[in-house]
Amino acid sequence: MRLKNKTAVITGSATGIGAATAYLFAKEGAKVVCADVNVEDVQKTVNEIKEAGGQAEARELDVSDADQVESFAQYLKEEYETVDVLFNNAGVDQEGGKVHEYPIELFDRILAVDLRGTFLVSKFLLPLMMDRGGSIINTTSMSGRAADLDRSGYNAAKGGVINFTKALAIDYGRYGIRANSIAPGTIETPLIDKLAGSEEEDEGQEFRDAQKWVTPLGRLGAPEEMASVALFLASDESSFVTGENILADGGLQAYTWPGKMLIDKSWKENIK
Ligand SMILES: NC(=O)c1ccc[n+]([C@@H]2O[C@H](COP(=O)([O-])OP(=O)(O)OC[C@H]3O[C@@H](n4cnc5c(N)ncnc54)[C@H](O)[C@@H]3O)[C@@H](O)[C@H]2O)c1
């Protein structure tokens, strides 16, 4: 029960990493507020938590909408008074082509959800954390540490989240608030289905095979593996860790040059 009596807010908890983290935080004793634009699936997350004996509630929230976030903070103040853990996890991703052809609206949308949303939710919920201290965890990506072909909007947004997290860490350390980010590698979630195709589609299968090939652990990650990292950062086990970005990518970015592995095809056969 590492989060006993704590109130934890998780954005983007309808599916994927956020949903897995909501289950785990609730299992560890937290009261979990699950916020998402996807009302139907976030309610499913909450129902499953409750069926398992945990405490949770679902709230509809678009993290990129300042008015909605402000009202959400007001609601939390009335219902919970304080927030101990904030997991800014909501995010979108999409390919958009090279920079000169990248649609402006797509760039704006990705920045609005992934970066501005992280700023807005932090801005409005921080006053609920400043009396008692707490932990903020932001989901960035390995794509915030290096770049992908045709995904400059996502790269810019997630790179921004890493440094924004450091700004939170230094501004709020004296309030007992820690701020860290998690940089997942490729994790099997609906986001990957949308980005690269599902496992049932040829394109999606090809993407997964390539990921497995170039990942030292030889597989994609599971949402539950990211939830474990989030739990570490949320709990007192990480009490002297702040301003940090934890990469959880199965070793992918440990390479300087994966060319050798690409030349030696035996690596491709040795995947899970
Ligand atoms: N899956 C991966 O390989 C991977 C890798 C690196 C980083 N990430 C990041 O992990 C986070 C979670 O993604 P996931 O992989 O679990 O995918 P996902 O699509 O299952 O989860 C994203 C969640 O964010 C919600 N969301 C989207 N826009 C929103 C908005 N405006 N307001 C509130 N909620 C919104 C979605 O409804 C969804 O529940 C995202 O920030 C994503 O960028 C994922």
- Looking up residue 54, the CATH number of its domain turns out to be 3.40.50.720
CA 268/CA 110 separation, integer angstroms: 33
Q: Is 11 in the pocket of ligand 1 (CB under 6 A)?
A: yes
Is 154 known to be catalytic? yes
| DSSP letters spanning 183-251 | EE-SB-SHHHHHHH--TTSHHHHHHHHHHHHHSTTSS-B-HHHHHHHHHHHHSGGGTT--S-EEEESTT
SS3 89: coil
Count of domains in the chain?
1
| Helices H / strands E in the chain, number of each | 11, 7
Is 142 part of any domain?
yes
CA 96/CA 102 separation, integer angstroms: 5
Q: Is 245 in the pocket of ligand 1 (CB under 6 A)?
A: no
Catalytic residue among 102, 154, 172, 175: 154
pTM of the model: 0.98
**Chain segment 163-206, per-residue pLDDT in tens:** 999 999 999 999 999 999 999 999 999 999 999 999 999 999 99
Is 181 part of any domain?
yes
Please, which residues have CB within 8 angstroms of residue 189's CB and are 6 or more apart in sequence? 15, 16, 17, 223
Distance (angstroms) between ligand 1 centre and the Cα of 18 equals 7
Which of 83, 163, 160 is closest to 121 using CA atoms? Answer: 83
pLDDT for res 24: 98
Which range of residues forms the domain containing residue 138? 7-189+220-257
Distance (angstroms) between ligand 1 centre and the Cα of 114 equals 9
CA 24/CA 224 separation, integer angstroms: 8
Q: Is 220 in the pocket of ligand 1 (CB under 6 A)?
A: no
| Low pLDDT (below 70) residues in the chain | none
Question: Ligand 1 pocket: which of 45, 63, 108, 189 to mutate (most atoms <8 Å of CB)?
Answer: 189
Q: Is 249 in the pocket of ligand 1 (CB under 6 A)?
A: no
Is 124 part of any domain?
yes
Is 266 part of any domain?
no
Give yes or no for a contact between 144 and 159, defined as CB atoms under 8 angstroms apart.
Answer: yes
Question: Ligand 1 pocket: which of 17, 219, 246 to mutate (most atoms <8 Å of CB)?
Answer: 17
Strand order in the sheet with 177-184: 55-60, 31-36, 7-11, 85-88, 134-139, 177-184, 245-248
DSSP 8-state symbol, 28: T
The sign of the torsion formed by the CA atoms of 190, 194, 197, 200 equals positive
Is 203 part of any domain?
no
Q: Is 63 in the pocket of ligand 1 (CB under 6 A)?
A: yes
Q: Is 192 in the pocket of ligand 1 (CB under 6 A)?
A: yes
Q: Is 89 in the pocket of ligand 1 (CB under 6 A)?
A: yes
pLDDT for res 126: 99
pLDDT for res 271: 79
Is 240 part of any domain?
yes
Token pair of 235 as six digits: 């709990």
Give yes or no for a contact between 12 and 36, defined as CB atoms under 8 angstroms apart.
Answer: yes
Is 176 part of any domain?
yes
Question: Ligand 1 pocket: which of 23, 191, 194 to mutate (most atoms <8 Å of CB)?
Answer: 191
Is 270 part of any domain?
no
